[in-house]
Structures are given as C-alpha cells and as structure tokens.
Amino acid sequence: MALWSGRFEQGVDAFTQRFGASLPIDKAMYKQDIAGSRAHANMLAAQGVIATDDAAAIGKGLEKIERSIDAGEFAFDINDEDIHMAVEKVLTADIGDAGARLHTGRSRNDQVATDARLFAKELCSELMAHNVSLRRALVAKAEEHFGTVMPGYTHMQHAQPVLFSHHMLAYFWMLTRDHVRLKAAFDAADVSPLGSAALAGTTYPLDRAMTAAELGFAGMTENSLDAVSDRDFLLDLDYACAVSMMHLSRLCEEIILWSSSEFGFITLSDKYSTGSSIMPQKKNPDFAELIRGKTGRVVGDLVGLLVTMKALPLAYNKDLQEDKGGAIDAAHTLADCLVCMDGMIETMRVNEGAMLEQAKKGFLAATDVADYLAKKGMPFRAAHEVVGNLVLLCEKRGCDLDDLALDDFKAASELFDDDIVSELDLESIVEARTTYGGTGHEAVRVQLERAHGVLERD
Ligand code: ARG
C-alpha cells in the first residue's frame, strides 16, 4: 500500500503504478534525498517538533539505508513510486514511529525540489571539472605546436594564415564561457526550497535557514508556490549542456575534416578511432562523429523541458516529474563527451607540414598585399582591386602570388617595390597581426598567458 493510501479504496492498477513511478530515474538522487531527510529531522528536533531521540533514530536509520543502497543491497520496489517514499517506507519499517514522524511539515513537493537542486549542483561541479581538464588539453596542444601556421577559413575557403595555436585557443574561450554557464546553473540551483512543504509553507515552526545551511545551500527560496514548481535551475543546466555540446560538435566537425585525406592536418590516435568491418584500410573518426551526433539529443533535452514547463499552472503538477530524466541525460552525456574529447585532443598528432602546405595555397597573402599598397597611400578599395587583378593573373598562369616577378607587381602598381617579397611570407603575415586577440605570435603569447590565468581561477 502506498504511503498516501488512506483515502483510497482500491490500489493503483499495476500498469499505472509503473507508468507513474519515477523511481527508476530518481533513485540516482538517493544520497541527496537522505541528506535532505537528515537535515529536516535534525531541524524538527531542534525546533521541538519531534523528540531528539526520534531524530537520532532517524539519523541512524537513514545511515543504514544509505549504506545498503551504496552496497547495491537495497530492495527497490516500483510500488514505492519514487525515491522519497522508497526511503521513508524502509525507514519506518526499520525504526517504527520515529520514521513515521519524519514527514512532519514536509511534502514530496519540497523534497523533490531540494533533492533535484542538490543533485544539479553536483552535476554542475563534475561538469566544470571535466571542462577545465579539456581546456588544459587545448592549451597544451596550443603550446606544443606554437608557431605552426595553418590556413584560416571563412566560408570554408582559404582566407588568411593563422597560428594553429590560435585556432585551438578559440575553442578554449568557447569552453571558458561554458564554464561560466555551468557556474550560473550551479548558482541557480544553490537555493533551498525545503520548508515550502506542499505549496503553502506549514504551521510548524520550521527553521528553513537551518536546513539550508546544513545542506550547504547559499540561500533560501522566497515564495513557497514558486519554490515547489520552479525548474529553472534544471533548464539552466540543460542550456549550459546544450551550448557546450554545440561547441564540442563544432570542434568535432573540424576534427573529422582535418583527419580526412583531403586535409590530413591531424592524425587521430588509434585509441580514438575505429575500423570498418568490410574495408580493411579504414580508420574512422567515430568518436568525434558520435559527440557531434549526441549534440542533437542534448539540445532535445533542453527543448523537452522547456515545453514541459510551458503553461504549467502553479504549483506542483505531476508534469514536473518529467524534469529529471532529460537533465541527467544532458549532464551525463556532456560529461562523457568532455572526457572523450579531452583524450582525443591530447593524443592527436598534428601534421604541421600538411597545414603549412595548405596555407601556401589560395592566395592567403592577398589581404596583406592590399594592405601594403594602402599603407603606401593607395585607398584600400583601389588596392583591393589591384590585388584582385593580380590574383586573376595568377589563376590564369596557374601560379601563386609569390611566384610573380617584381615586374608583374610593378605593372599592376607603381607603388610596389622589392620589399613586397617579405610581405608574401606566411610567417611574417601571421607575425604582423599584433592586434590584441589577433593571431600574431606575440598576441597569441599574451592569449596563452590569459588562458593560464583563467584556468588558475577556474
Ligand atoms: N516523484 C515526484 C517527482 O519526481 C515527486 C513529487 C511528487 N509529488 C506529488 N505530489 N505527486 O516530481
């Protein structure tokens, strides 16, 4: 019989019992549920609502239950519906009336909100640690190959040469923002709803600040109706996960392209590749593809909860039970993907020669040649036109800008001199981009320093 069966004449149908149960998902929150119960019982005793002996018995009983779940010996019963009733039932069976007093001044509505917030905080902390670890791997790769020049792209067409380190650090900063978002989700969860009871607070003299402090919350919710029906903190977590997956999917896409024979920029470690069951030569970037694919599911987790929340009237509605599955899935998926990407980046081989080879193609010096003319007084638009014509000339001859003779340059403009030769050198082109945040060696050195500083903080 369910803990709420008093007003019923019949038990729930076996199918609806299973259908309505959240136990298969929320049993993951058993530690949080037990911590919440312990704090509630201690507070009830401190306020004289239950006897100190009862609180002590509850504490001991909960400890026993926690140990048995830890050991995988706890007999979960789907008829208990959720983790809250599963724990309470076994507790009461074990210690009798003291256990039956635990739910005084409490509802599963504030209980589940408390558990979910504690759980979300833990997930955020784990994700932040994985995020930092991957960012370290990106910085390490950037440092290992400092000075390597590769083509920078816009529209997937060769644009201007950049440092490979600069490209790696672009992902570092994306992931740094993900860390900020995860911390924001942590802070959103870090508010205690315990003591809101079913929806309206209670008549017992609860000390909400005491339970909040014992559970390590930074503050308390202000409105009991909002407290039991707010799942913004899970939306924040879902959103942080979805954005971070989107970032990983962009990196995956580049890894997949870069490891193709057309690019050959990187070689993935065998540990992060798979073969084909029919084509003996294949080495596939499966795991990058898988992360790219999982991004869809995590975005779905965010959208799913948003739609569940849409138009929900106050206060608790059973719809809210659909909140945890997606959030846990999003967090676990992101955690796995961060770990996988960390190893993939750390073990990948960077083929510096292939990058440089490609950087020599596609007239990557064109902007700098135009700048050369502009710096000698020609309006930039006119310079753009002159260099455009030179590129056309090269295309007709099937050569590159640095294959042109000085006379070819001079024929295009009087302003060209023999110092144009150094202007065409990829290394100097990169070096010259000294703008703060640009790809020049010095600017990237500053960037690396900033990255280390940020990692120190995170
Ligand atoms: N299993 C429920 C959930 O996950 C707990 C709260 C249920 N409250 C209720 N009144 N049915 O949301």
Mean pLDDT of 179-186: 98
Worst-scoring range by mean pLDDT, 55-69, 99-113, 408-422?
A: 408-422
Mean pLDDT of 6-16: 89
Query: Can you give the pLDDT at residue 184?
Result: 98
Query: Can you give the pLDDT at residue 431?
Result: 96
What confidence tier does 257 reach under pLDDT thresholds 50, 70, 90? very high
The CATH architecture assigned to 12-104 reads: Orthogonal Bundle (1.10)
For the CA of 22, the closest atom of ligand 1 is 1
Query: Can you give the pLDDT at residue 56?
Result: 98
Helix, strand, coil percentages, rounded to 5, for the chain: 65, 5, 30
Mean pLDDT of 86-110: 98
Residue 118, C-beta contacts closer than 8 angstroms, at least 6 positions apart: 29, 32, 35, 36, 189, 215, 216
Supply the residue whose CA is at minimum distance from atom 12 of ligand 1.
321
Nearest-angstrom CA–CA distance, 408 and 404: 6
Most informative mutation of 27, 83, 316, 321 for ligand 1 (most atoms within 8 A of CB): 321
Query: Can you give the pLDDT at residue 303?
Result: 98
Nearest-angstrom CA–CA distance, 44 and 51: 8
For the CA of 83, the closest atom of ligand 1 is 1
ipTM: 0.97
Annotation marks residue 179 as catalytic = no
Domain boundaries, the chain: 12-104, 109-147+165-204+221-357, 360-457
Mean pLDDT of 213-238: 98
Mean pLDDT of 65-76: 98
Mean pLDDT of 266-292: 94
Q: Do domains 12-104 and 360-457 have the same CATH topology?
A: no
Give 293-347 pLDDT, tens digit per residue.
999 999 999 999 999 999 999 999 999 999 999 999 999 999 999 999 999 999 9
User: Phi and psi (nearest 5°) for 59?
Assistant: -55, -45
Is the bond into 116 cis (omega within 30 degrees of 0)? no
| Predicted confidence (pLDDT) at residue 201 exceeds the cutoff of 90 | yes
pTM here? Answer: 0.96
| Predicted confidence (pLDDT) at residue 387 exceeds the cutoff of 80 | yes
| Predicted confidence (pLDDT) at residue 268 exceeds the cutoff of 90 | yes
Mean pLDDT of 355-378: 95
Give 398-454 pLDDT, tens digit per residue.
999 999 999 999 999 999 999 998 889 999 999 999 999 999 999 999 999 999 999
- Token pair, residue 353, equals 């020669």
Residues with CB under 6 A from ligand 1: 22, 26, 82, 108-109, 112, 316, 318, 320-321
Query: Can you give the pLDDT at residue 154?
Result: 97
| Predicted confidence (pLDDT) at residue 1 exceeds the cutoff of 80 | no
The CATH architecture assigned to 360-457 reads: Orthogonal Bundle (1.10)
Mean predicted lDDT score pLDDT of the chain: 97
Supply the residue whose CA is at minimum distance from atom 2 of ligand 1.
321
Annotation marks residue 276 as catalytic = yes
Mean pLDDT of 116-120: 98
Q: Which CATH class is domain 109-147+165-204+221-357?
A: mainly alpha
What confidence tier does 12 reach under pLDDT thresholds 50, 70, 90? confident
Most informative mutation of 17, 108, 194 for ligand 1 (most atoms within 8 A of CB): 108
